[in-house]
Amino acid sequence: MAQLGGTPVLILREGSERTRGRDAQSRNILAAKTIAAAVKSTLGPKGMDKMLVDSMGDVVITNDGATILKEMDIEHPAAKMMVEIAKTQDDEVGDGTTSAVVIAGELLKRAEDLLEQEVHPTLIVTGYRLAAEKAHEILKGLTKDVTPDDTETLKKIAMTSMTGKGAEVARELLTNLAVESVRAIAEKGGKIDIDHIKLDKKTGGSKDDTVLIKGMLIDKERVHPGMPKLVENAKIALVNSALEIEKTEVDAKIEITSPDQMKAFLDEEERMLKSMVDKVKDSGANVLFCQKGIDDLPQHYLAKAGILAVRRVKESDMKKLASATGGKILTTLEEIRPEDLGAAGVVEERKIGGEEMIFVENCQNPKSVSILLRGGTEHVVDELERGMNDALRVTACAVEDGKYVAGGGAPEIELALRLRDYAASVGGREQLAIQAFADAVEVIPRALAENAGLDPIDMLVALRSAHEAGNKNAGLDVFKGEPTDMLKAGVIEPLRIKTQAISSATESATMILRIDDVIAATTAKPPAGGMPPGGPGMEGMGEEY
């Protein structure tokens, strides 16, 4: 509301809420700090899990930062920005989501202290940006090189990402599978498309029954019981058109005036369907994957010809099958030729967890592979999938970038040490912000110590002493409760985890700090008459499915 000559002028809709100045900053910082505090206890090998129950009563048990924040029903706009940090970190690297959120929360907490000392937000933002740039430079100086052939180092990187997660119980097996699958799909030049690794999960069995299939796993069954269950030396046709009689684009009517015409019409239909099967058979194919439908009659003919056929295969699975088998996806059966077929050692239908699945195995040099995850319950399998996803992503990052750093809080302690020296050289009030940044990154080793039941101050002092003595790779061994050389202990992470976490955290913290006015519109009122959203009979349909 504004005043014009004593007359109130309404600018915002009635009921809108406006918060300004320090009050707005304090509220935003509090919301962000609350989100950081929610995930802080999950950090590290001794981090705890969270149980999340959604509006439908579904339960998720995890300590994966991105999953926790995604499942939380968050209202506050500043808190939503913290969720975005975790999402970005997850999309870019796959791991380090909790670290990114915790660093952002700590940056805002330290900034709040500076705001109380009358340091202007713009100066804090400038100092944070200078510190982030310097941090990237320092981190590059701490890296070690890794090649795709260095499987031992890659296994250590995958194992570090799984430590403290539900997947840790079977981490030896899972890390071997993660490294093997990433190396299998790596292209020349080190580029890796992680989408070419398919994760399938089935309850039943135990974690040790998890297997890597050098080929593809399709969650479908044969279309006809008369088809072979097992085909060796498979020649695979990949077709994305239906083995059915096509309907015309426009409405058409066929007039039949005699039984002879009816019989001729049906015979011609049968002949057309049989010719489709003959084309598949003549190409030499003994396995057919079809993206669309297969009619009853072609199913019969395919079974008689001894061809194993699967219908309604997802488009994404068809692309992976093409990568795995070396076949081409054909739009029509007219163009099918022997050289277009894919190859696999074995195609077999097996029963897994009470459901039939098609295994396409022993492909030569497959550029798509599958991992079948097994576990006693759905929650176990879901957590295995999250752990496996993290391991695959970090291994891919390490192979692509060829750089890794020590884990266990070692880079953060070194960053803090070097940034404090850098702050002294900057001068002006920005140096206060750089010092605050240095203090903030130490939240990672502090949280590791707290979650392990160790004294955080004693551990920080011990770590700082080790780094000042020249041991740049000294991190916190939470099991022994002392500083340890993390490279020798095999606790290592891809460089990209650290650089992305610092970039995301700094950008979000600076954006929240620059906000000094929050104008919140009124929430939409239900229509008159109290009808629920979505119209009559739609009660309870507002939730996401």
- Catalytic residue positions? 64, 97-98, 390
Query: DSSP per residue over 393-428, as a string?
Result: HHHHHHHHH-EEEE-TTHHHHHHHHHHHHHHHHH-T
CA distances from 398 to 143, 227, 457 (A): 11, 44, 33
3-state secondary structure of 188: coil
**Two tokens at 387?**
């752990």
Helix (H, G, I), strand (E, B) or coil at 476: strand
Paired with 344 in beta bridges are: 234
Strands (E), 132-184: 144-145
Write phi, then psi, for 225 (nearest 5 degrees).
-65, -20
How far is 434 from 116, CA to CA, in rounded Å? Answer: 17
Considering only the C-alpha atoms of the chain, give the largest distance between any 2 of them, rounded to a whole number of Å: 101
User: Do residues 487 and 406 lie in contact, with contact meaning Cβ atoms separated by under 8 Å?
Assistant: yes
Q: Which of 313, 239, 221 is nearest to 280 (CA)?
A: 239
> Which pairs with CB-CB distance under 8 Å and at least 24 residues apart come from 172-176?
173/207, 173/208, 173/210, 174/210, 174/384, 174/387, 174/388, 174/391, 175/391
Tokens coding 541: 């349909």
Q: Is 255 helix (H, G, I), strand (E, B) or coil?
A: coil
Q: Are 25 and 516 in contact (CB under 8 A)?
A: yes
**Tokens 């997850």 appear where?**
90
Q: Which residues contact 450 (CB under 8 A, 6 or more apart)?
A: 41, 456
Q: How far apart are the first and last CA of the chain?
A: 41
DSSP helix/strand/coil, 350? strand
SS3 label, residue 303:
helix
CA proximity to 158, closest of 136, 192, 186, 182: 182
Cβ atoms of residues 108 and 78 within 8 Å = no
Structure tokens at 19: 């918060």
Identify each DSSP E strand in 64-176 by its residue range. Answer: 144-145
Element (H, E) at 178: helix 171-185
The angle subtended at Cα 267 by Cα 266 and Cα 273, nearest 5°, is 90
- Render the burial of 77-106: b for 16+ CB within 10 Å, e for the rest: ebbebbbebbebbbebbbbbbbbbbbbbbb
Burial of 536 (0-12, 13-18, 19+ CB in 10 A): exposed
Contact (Cβ atoms closer than 8 angstroms) between residue 295 and residue 273:
yes
